Amino acid sequence: MSLTPVPMLVDCDPGLDDAIALLTAAHFADLVGITTVDGNVGIDYTTRNALAVAQIAGLDVEVHRGAARPLADQSRGARHVHGATGLGNVELPEITRSVESEDAVGFIIETSHRVEGLHLVAVGPLTNVAEALHRDASLPERLEGLTIMGGAAVGGNVTAAAEFNIWADPEAADTVFRLGGDITMVGLDVTQQVLLRPAQVDQMSAARTPAAALAAELLDYAIDRSLELRGWAGAPIHDACAVLAVTHPQLFDGRRQPVDIELTGAHTRGMTVVDDRGSYADSDANVRVLRSADADAVIELIVEAVTAVR
Ligand code: RIB
Ligand code: CA
């Protein structure tokens, strides 16, 4: 971790793991803004949920509302994983926070001009990021990095071939992977190695803070769904891995490879096609694809962050 917290803007679709990622970013980075996008649930819920996390954790950070639907498809959702509201069955307090604007794209662009060394971390469908690139193609030149939770070198979760964030808006992902500059892809190859278990729920609950209590409830729900849907004894907290790939890069390993987005396959739409052949030109290796992580260290840092925030 660098001595000075890196400035970070998180674009998200809270979402159980997005919520934990926001707490992780708030602790380990200089979280300069949150933008919301349609994804796990609709934009009304993803935005309410982002405001709820900021309020409960006492985060002094702006939330800007973003895209209500993908570039080409209809809104899909992953309610079978995250619940109808996107935050499992958590009873939220009255949300007194409100969004700073309904122009997440404008905020992303404005922040890239205002904040030196900005890391944009996208942990939902890439609709806002693609729109930002369409509006200002020079955006990547002002970013220290663009880190994406999404895709997989092998396999998928929402289909056999595709990961949810890419599958939910493949046209946006195609734009971002072609025009997004220096991209780091934190895909399922990494995030499915980092499973949080009931022991972590207990550690979070023991902290007795509002943020840790929320995270414990979210994780408990995620573990139940993970067992039900995949037969796993733990839950992958995908999005927090993307945050930690920026703040603790030494815990992750990967290499630059060509990655294309499948847009038309009957069974493969939304697939990240990662070229493993090695015969490609360096200039074609557009994405740093992470392949492994020190899972125990990553889990410890997530618990540290969640229990340290108010
Ligand atoms: O496939 C996992 C990703 O999809 C995570 O970002 C999760 O929040 C969902 O958006
Ligand atoms: Ca997400």
Report how far apart the first and last C-alpha atoms of the chain are (Å, whole number): 21
Give me the count of residues in the chain.
Answer: 310
pLDDT of residue 310: 72
- Residue type for 131, please? E
CB 200 within 8 A of CB 219: yes
Tokens coding 137: 């193609």
Closest-CA residue to 161 (of 14, 40, 58, 271): 271
CB 218 within 8 A of CB 87: yes
Rounded CA separation 222/16 (Å): 7
Rounded CA separation 165/151 (Å): 7
pLDDT of residue 2: 56
Q: Which residues are catalytic?
A: 238
User: What SS3 state is found at 43?
Assistant: helix
Q: DSSP assignment of 247-283, as one string? A: H-GGGEEEEEE-EEE--S-TTTTT-EEE--SS-S-GG
Q: Is the pTM of this model over 0.95?
A: yes
Per-residue pLDDT of the chain (310 residues; tens, 9 = 90+): 557 899 999 999 999 999 999 999 999 999 999 999 999 999 999 999 999 999 999 999 999 999 999 999 899 899 999 999 999 999 999 999 999 999 999 999 999 999 999 999 999 999 999 999 999 999 999 999 999 999 999 999 999 999 999 999 999 999 999 999 989 999 999 999 999 999 999 999 999 999 999 999 999 999 999 999 999 999 999 999 999 999 999 999 999 999 999 999 999 999 999 999 988 888 889 899 999 999 999 999 999 999 998 7
User: What SS3 state is found at 110?
Assistant: helix
Ligand 1 touching residue 218 (CB < 6 A):
no
Strand partners, 8: 31, 119
Rounded CA separation 127/31 (Å): 21
pLDDT of residue 3: 72
| Host H or E run for residue 7 | strand 7-12
Residue of 149, 158, 190, 219 to test ligand 1 pocket, by largest number of atoms within 8 Å of CB: 149
Tokens coding 200: 């972590």
Rounded CA separation 135/133 (Å): 5
Ligand 1 touching residue 7 (CB < 6 A):
no
Rounded CA separation 125/38 (Å): 7
Residue of 22, 38, 76, 164 to test ligand 1 pocket, by largest number of atoms within 8 Å of CB: 164
Rounded CA separation 185/282 (Å): 17
CB 68 within 8 A of CB 105: no
Rounded CA separation 150/157 (Å): 11
Beta carbons within 10 angstroms of residue 52's beta carbon: 24
CB 262 within 8 A of CB 269: yes
Determine the distance separating the centroid of ligand 2 and the alpha carbon of 266, expressed in angstroms: 24
Rounded CA separation 178/267 (Å): 22
**Which atom of ligand 1 is nearest the CA belonging to 78?**
9
Q: Rounding to the nearest 10 degrees, give the CA dihedral for residues 195, 200, 205, 211.
A: -50
**Exposed, middle or buried, 30 (CB in 10 Å: 0-12/13-18/19+)?**
middle
Residues 6+ apart with CB under 8 A from 91: none
